[in-house]
Every structure is written in structure tokens, then in C-alpha cells.
Structure 1
Amino acid sequence: MSGLRNLGLAVAMLAASGGAALVTWSYILAQRRKEEQKEDVVAKVEQKEDTAKEEQKENVVREDHLLLESEMAARCMLLAAREQPQKEPQTRKQQILVLGLDGSGKTSVLNSIVTNRGNHSTVPTEGVHAVCITNGNSKMEFLEVGGSEQLRQFWERYLDRALALIYVVDSSDHSRLPLAKMHLHQLIQHSSSLPLVVLANKQDLENAYHITDIHDALALSEICEKRKLYLIGTHVATDGSELPSSIEDTRELLAQLLLEIH
């Protein structure tokens, strides 16, 4: 509109002055170009502002979309975690582990406890020997692992399931007491609180060490500070006669020990 106003004014001047027509017309064209340039600049600025607004809107939409995707991903992860199976609970300890060097009389002692009669065995245990005593609502499970040199390396693997450890020693085998001591101390390093029952077996033999000597030979004073420790002298009748009192005492001790643990 300002351009047309200037154009009308210039025409009036041209009619009045005549000779200044060329100069005036040139001025008019120059003014029109300026006005057109201004309008172009304004249009470009407005176009840039509109473009910026559109880009801002797109960025907001994109951010909202990414946020929505993040929320959906988080929900999916939560649902997946809920649907994953729960970890299995740690294996419940349920056995009394019976260990000792080969020839110490583990199987004879264990069979006597189970059968409630003297039950001497001369057959060495190859592998494992499992037995169970059930009396009403109470139950005692025993797992004996052979004591040969080849099997001793596997002893510690059974400690995790053990409620208590019975360690049988041949009281008459003086030369192997240091070996029995070494394996016992290695075992207890893997469990600082496992109750320990040491059976000084074969007390009926003439050359058997007394239980006080067994206590010293096995250095039991070094391992009894942080655990329940019991030392019992035992022997097993070879003729299947009545159960020796020492085996009865061992059985009663184990039953009481299990009650305290549970």
C-alpha cells in the first residue's frame, strides 16, 4: 500500500513538473524495489520462523515418542523379570556325613547304629554308602564316603549338604594318626561351624590309644573353639551281640544334635 501511495504522489508531481519525469520515475522504481525487498525479507523471516516452529514441534513429538518407547521398554523389562522363574532355593542340608581313613571301621559303626546291634563289616566302602533311620516323625540320614586315597579328594564336596560330620579314627593304627589329623583339619577349614563328632574306634583292642591320646594326636583343641565337638571312644562287637553302650551313646547324641540344629 505504501508503494501505491508513493506511485500516486510521483504521478502528480510528474504532471506538474513535466521535465523531471525520468528522474521521478527512476525514484519510483527504486522505492518499489526497496519495498519489494523488504517484503521478501519479511516473508523469509516468517518462513524461517514457521520452519523453526515446525522443527520444534517435530523434536517435541520425537522426544515424546522416545520417552514412550523408553517407558514401554522399562515395562517390558519389568514384565520379563516377573515372568522369569524364581531361583531355586539353596539345597537343604539333610545328611550326617561319615568320613574317615580306610580301615577305620566306618561301615561297622554305621551299620551298628542303624540296626541297633553289633554289626562288624570287613568289606571296604567303594564309593558311597547311604542309610536312613526312621523313628516316628524323626529321621536320620547318613552318608558314608569311602576312605581310600582315591576317594579322599572328594570328601569336601559333600560338606555343603551335611548337618553334622562323624569322623571315625582307628585308635590302634598309630602310624596313620598324623594322616587322619591332616585330612580332618583340611575338612574343617571348609566349614567353620559344622558340628563334629570324632569316634575313637576299636577301643576294644589292646594297643588302642585312649581317647585322651586321640584328642592330642588329632590336635582337637585347635578346632573346638567355634564349633560343637564331641569325642567318643567306640568299638563294634564282631559276633553280632548286643549293641555296645558307646554306640548307643553315639546314636543318642546324634539324635539330640539334630534336634538342636533343626
Structure 2
Amino acid sequence: MEKGRVMKKGKVKKGKEPEKEKIREKGKEEKEKKKEVEKEKIKGKEKGKEEKSNCKEEKRKERETEKEKEQLKGKEEKEKDNSALTKRPLEPPEKNKQILVLGLDGAGKTSVLHSLALNRVQHSVAPTQGFNAVCINTEDSQMEFLEIGGSEPFRSYWEMYLSRGLLLIFVVDSADHNRLPEAKKHLHQLIGTNPILPLVVFANKQDLEAAYRITDIHEALALSEVGNDRKMFLFGTQVTENGSEIPSVMQDAKDLIAHLAADVQGPRPGPLCSCQSKSP
């Protein structure tokens, strides 16, 4: 009997061991699955972080590229300005003095000058970057004009060339009220170095609604203070319809300029030059 009981107990033990083993195996599998799920989650998070990091890196590179482009553009513009400044026109001999055309940028110097040269309205869109030399022929004389850019980098050249000027043409924008004090300051600085240099002022853009009239321009530029020994003339000008004949007032101004230049210059032998423009 004791023996039979022992055998019976042994059989019960053998029956329960495989079930426990299965439970343990199943538990291990579930743990393994959980680990795999956790690994996948970690991988997903790392991938998200990596993609976010790559996105930030790409945006940073884009910003750096844009910044480099802007710096390169600024450098090119600076080099262009420096190049324009270093390329001066050939200095004319004393007997070939020129009529200087000066004024702030945007006043319309080039448009006025080309209109006088061609006897018809010729608009200019781009501002003069440096120097613009033009020769104008009349029936019995020739006139050599030199326009110098009106932006800040070129104003230091104004007085340098003033000593070789036959006369000074100063162009102002009649409608740009805010810059008239600045124009006045530069004009009086120029004429202060030469008390007898003839002066012709063009109050340009008279066709604009906001333009000051001639009397207002005379007062704004303090032209009554230019000196009693100086020949001074003020014209109201405009260049409206491109290609049309120049207004009669511009023709009158052209005739006067030729007369003044002839008085200062005296008789000049030699062939007439053809109209041309030069820029550095």
C-alpha cells in the first residue's frame, strides 16, 4: 500500500510539471513581445528625433545659404561701386574744360542732359554710377558736358572737377521737398570755392503736381546768396513725353549755356565732336 501511494504521488507530479513549463514559456514569450514592442517604440522615437534633427539641419543650411547669398550680393554691389569710383574719365587738358552737370541722385540730370543733346525728350531710368560724358554740337560751337553721379559715394568728386568747369549746371527735383535743404547745402559748398563760376539751375520735374514753382525753388536754394559777381540763371524744366521735342524753355536754356560757355572759353578751333555717352 505504501508503495502504491508513492507511485500515485509520482504520477501527479509528472502531470503538473509540463503545465508549469508551458506557463513559464508563455510568460517568457509575452515578455519578449513586450520587449520587442518597447524596442519598436524606442526606434520610432529615435527615428522621429533624427527626422526632426535633419529637418532643423536642413533649415539651418538653408538660412546659411541665404545669408551667404546676401553677403555675396552685398560684396558684388560694393565691388561694383568701388570699381565705378576708381574708373575716372580721362582728365581733359585745360583748354578742353567741361560744363559740369551736378545734383543729387534722382534729380533727373541724365534725362535733362540727353534731352539737350538730342533735341528731344530722352528719359533715363538707371541712375548714373560714376561719370557720364556727352558732347553737344550747335550751329557754331561744341559743348563738352560731364555729369557726375549724385549718390553719396560720388559727391567727393564734385569739387575735384569743379576747378576745370566752364560753368556749373545744378539740377534739383522740384517735387522732392525733403531733399531741397540737402541740395542747397551741396550747391553752396560748390559755388563757395569759386565766386565767379557761372551757375545755371534746372528746377526739374515741374510737370509733377507736388513740384515747387520757380519762386519757391529760388527761395529754398537761397539763390539770392550766390554772389553779386556770378552769372546765375534759373529754369523750370520737365521731360514728360519720351521722344517728343524738348520744351521751348529747354531750348532757351541750351542756347544760353552755349553763349555762357563761349564767353568763358573764347574761340576754339577744331572739328565738332559727335554726341556720345561714357560710363565706367
Measured against the shorter chain, the TM-score band is 0.5 to 0.7
The aligned residue for residue 177 of structure 1 is 180
The aligned residue for residue 116 of structure 2 is 113
Q: Could you tell me how far 1:237 is from its partner in structure 2?
A: 2.2
Decide which of 189, 194, 210 is 1:191's aligned counterpart: 194
Contact 1:194 1:227 in 2 (8 A): yes
Contact 1:119 1:237 in 2 (8 A): no
Secondary structure of the residue that 1:129 maps to in structure 2?
strand
Quote the Cα distance in structure 2 between the aligned partners of 1:221 and 1:239: 34
Query: What is the letter of the counterpart of residue 207 of structure 1?
Result: A
The aligned residue for residue 243 of structure 2 is 240
The aligned residue for residue 218 of structure 1 is 221
Query: What is the letter of the counterpart of residue 103 of structure 1?
Result: G
Q: Deviations over 1:133-191 (max 9, x none)?
A: 12355110000000001111111000111100000000000000000000000001111
- TM-score of the superposed pair, with normalisation by structure 2: 0.60
Contact 2:195 2:227 in 1 (8 A): no
1:141 counterpart = 2:144: yes
1:155 counterpart = 2:158: yes
Contact 1:100 1:106 in 2 (8 A): yes
* Matching of residues 10-25 of structure 1 within 5 Å: none
Identity of aligned residues (%): 60
The aligned residue for residue 201 of structure 1 is 204
Contact 2:120 2:243 in 1 (8 A): yes
Secondary structure of the residue that 1:96 maps to in structure 2?
strand
Rg larger in structure: 1
Q: Could you tell me how far 1:238 is from its partner in structure 2?
A: 3.5
Contact 1:93 1:160 in 2 (8 A): no
The aligned residue for residue 105 of structure 2 is 102
Secondary structure of the residue that 2:212 maps to in structure 1?
coil
- TM-score of the superposed pair, with normalisation by structure 1: 0.64
* Matching of residues 20-169 of structure 1 within 5 Å: 91-92=94-95, 94-169=97-172
Stretches of structure 1 that go unaligned for 5 or more consecutive residues are: 1-89
Quote the Cα distance in structure 2 between the aligned partners of 1:192 and 1:172: 29
Residue correspondences, number: 173
**Structure 2 CA distance for partners of 1:242 and 1:216, relative to 1, 3 Å:** same
Quote the Cα distance in structure 1 between the aligned partners of 2:138 and 2:180: 36
* 4+ residue runs over 4 A deviation: none
Query: What is the letter of the counterpart of residue 239 of structure 1?
Result: N
Task: State the superposition RMSD in angstroms.
Answer: 1.3
Contact 1:200 1:234 in 2 (8 A): yes
Q: Could you tell me how far 1:93 is from its partner in structure 2?
A: 5.3
Quote the Cα distance in structure 1 between the aligned partners of 2:98 and 2:154: 19
